[in-house]
């Protein structure tokens, strides 16, 4: 067994011990949904996709109050929006834990964990794979427009259009539920909306 496959098994066992059953199932599902998309888009390091997917929620089990407190103690940057909505911080703390506790050094893996909730403009392919897999994995059932099944199909043929649709639905949900919107999510949506327009596509 090569080193990366051994690492994947180690991380899968660690997440099974650390996460609730439901969150562990979600994390495994994200890992292999992202890997499936990665093969479609010819991503060379599928092992990295699986590692990022397994670890993307590694901090979420701690709960919002603990996540916020740990970010403060570690002097990780916490914006005003994140201070008021600490659920946004689990990606940031997760990236720290992936490096400090699980010995992940690949910057693209760490970045994909960090930005899997808010996104960011001009994301790498790995970042987009993890962001979208978190949104479309088979156990998700949120109401979307177009339907989640349609977004799943689009994700395997036009990743930037799928990004735009997922972000558009996220922003709509946040507005309808009167939840504060992180500017990074809005900036990410604007970036991909403008990118599609420049390519002559539209949502």
pLDDT digits (tens, 9 = 90+) for 59-117: 999 999 999 999 999 999 999 999 999 999 999 999 999 999 999 999 999 999 999 99
C-alpha distances in Å from residue 18, one per residue of 10, 13, 60: 12, 9, 10
Please compute, for residue 56, the number of CA atoms within 13 A of its CA located in the half-sphere on the CB side: 36
> pLDDT value at position 129?
98
| pLDDT of amino acid 202 | 63
- Residue 85 contacts residue 180 (beta carbons within 8 Å): yes
The domain spans of the chain are: 3-198
Please determine, for residue 203, whether its predicted confidence score (pLDDT) is greater than 70. no
pLDDT at 112: 98
pLDDT digits (tens, 9 = 90+) for 108-156: 999 999 999 999 999 999 999 999 999 999 999 999 999 999 999 999 9
Residue 45 burial class via C-beta count within 10 angstroms: exposed 0-12, middle 13-18, buried 19 and up: middle
Q: Indicate the pTM of the whole model.
A: 0.96
Q: How far is CA 140 from CA 33, 73, 119, in A?
A: 12, 33, 18
Minimal CA–CA distance to 10: which of 94, 95, 102? Answer: 102
Length of the chain: 203
What stretch of H or E contains 107?
helix 107-114
Fold of 3-198: Hypothetical protein af1432 (1.10.3210)
Average pLDDT value over all residues in the chain? 95
Structure tokens at 163: 């990004």
In this structure, what token pair is assigned to residue 180? Answer: 């504060």
Distance CA 106, CA 130 (A): 15
Per-residue confidence at 4, pLDDT binned at 50, 70, 90?
confident
Question: In this structure, are residues 37 and 159 in contact, taking their beta carbons and an 8 Å threshold?
Answer: yes
């Amino acid at each position: 067994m090569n080193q990366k496959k051994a690492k994947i098994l180690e991380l899968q066992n660690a997440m099974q011990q650390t996460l609730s059953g439901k969150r562990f199932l979600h994390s495994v599902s994200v890992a292999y949904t992202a890997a499936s998309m990665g093969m479609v888009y010819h991503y060379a390091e599928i092992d990295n996709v699986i590692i990022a997917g397994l670890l993307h929620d590694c901090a979420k089990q701690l709960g919002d109050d603990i996540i916020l407190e740990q970010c403060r103690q570690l002097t990780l940057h916490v914006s005003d929006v994140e201070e008021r909505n600490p659920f946004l911080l689990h990606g940031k703390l997760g990236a720290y834990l992936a490096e400090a506790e699980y010995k992940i050094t690949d910057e693209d893996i760490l970045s994909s964990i960090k930005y899997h909730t808010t996104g960011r403009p001009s994301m790498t392919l790995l970042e987009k794979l993890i962001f979208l897999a978190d949104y479309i994995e088979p156990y998700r059932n949120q109401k979307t427009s177009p339907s989640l099944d349609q977004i799943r199909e689009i994700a395997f043929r036009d990743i930037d259009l799928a990004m735009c649709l997922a972000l558009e639905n996220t922003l709509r949900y946040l507005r309808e539920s009167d939840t504060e919107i992180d500017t990074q999510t809005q900036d990410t949506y604007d970036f991909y909306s403008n990118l599609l327009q420049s390519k002559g596509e539209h949502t």
